[in-house]
């Protein structure tokens, strides 16, 4: 089955700095890679995703890159703000309704004002 490794487990940055979270996956059949933000006590919220036919995707301060050959993908947050503080999860899956996503262990991002 799929195995997703996520690093770091904790990331502390100053407001305005950039934050990078990295994930690796093992199953070359995986072709969909979403990223989620989860605030304390709330549901995970999809913030950005990327499919295997794309190498990079950007949405304002958030970007995701994918290296299929190396089987790794990364989340980049620029100009971090205190409200970016949360736990971020990466996931990998195959497209299709019954394919089960495999989640990383999560990264606790702390943005200091």
Partner 1 sequence: GAVVSQHPSWVICKSGTSVKIECRSLDFQATTMFWYRQFPKQSLMLMATSNEGSKATYEQGVEKDKFLINHASLTLSTLTVTSAHPEDSSFYICSPSGPTGYGYTFGSGTRLTVV
Q: Which residues bind partner 1 (CB under 8 A)?
A: 32, 34, 41-46, 49, 89, 91, 93-101, 103-106, 108
Nearer of residues 66 and 106 to partner 1, judged by Cβ: 106
Nearer of residues 78 and 102 to partner 1, judged by Cβ: 102
Question: Environment class of residue 23 by beta-carbon count within 10 Å: exposed (0-12), middle (13-18) or buried (19+)?
Answer: buried
**Smallest separation, CB 50 to partner 1 (Å):** 11
């Amino acid at each position: 089955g799929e195995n997703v490794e996520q690093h770091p487990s904790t990331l502390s940055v100053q407001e305005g700095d950039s934050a990078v979270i990295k994930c690796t996956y093992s199953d070359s059949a995986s072709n969909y890679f979403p990223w989620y933000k989860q605030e304390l006590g709330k549901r995970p919220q999809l913030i950005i995703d990327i499919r295997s036919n794309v190498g990079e995707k950007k949405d304002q301060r958030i970007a995701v890159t994918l290296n299929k050959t190396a089987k790794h993908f990364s989340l980049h947050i620029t100009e971090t703000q205190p409200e970016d503080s949360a736990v971020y999860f990466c996931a990998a899956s195959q497209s299709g309704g019954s394919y089960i996503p495999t989640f990383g262990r999560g990264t606790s991002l702390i943005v200091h004002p």
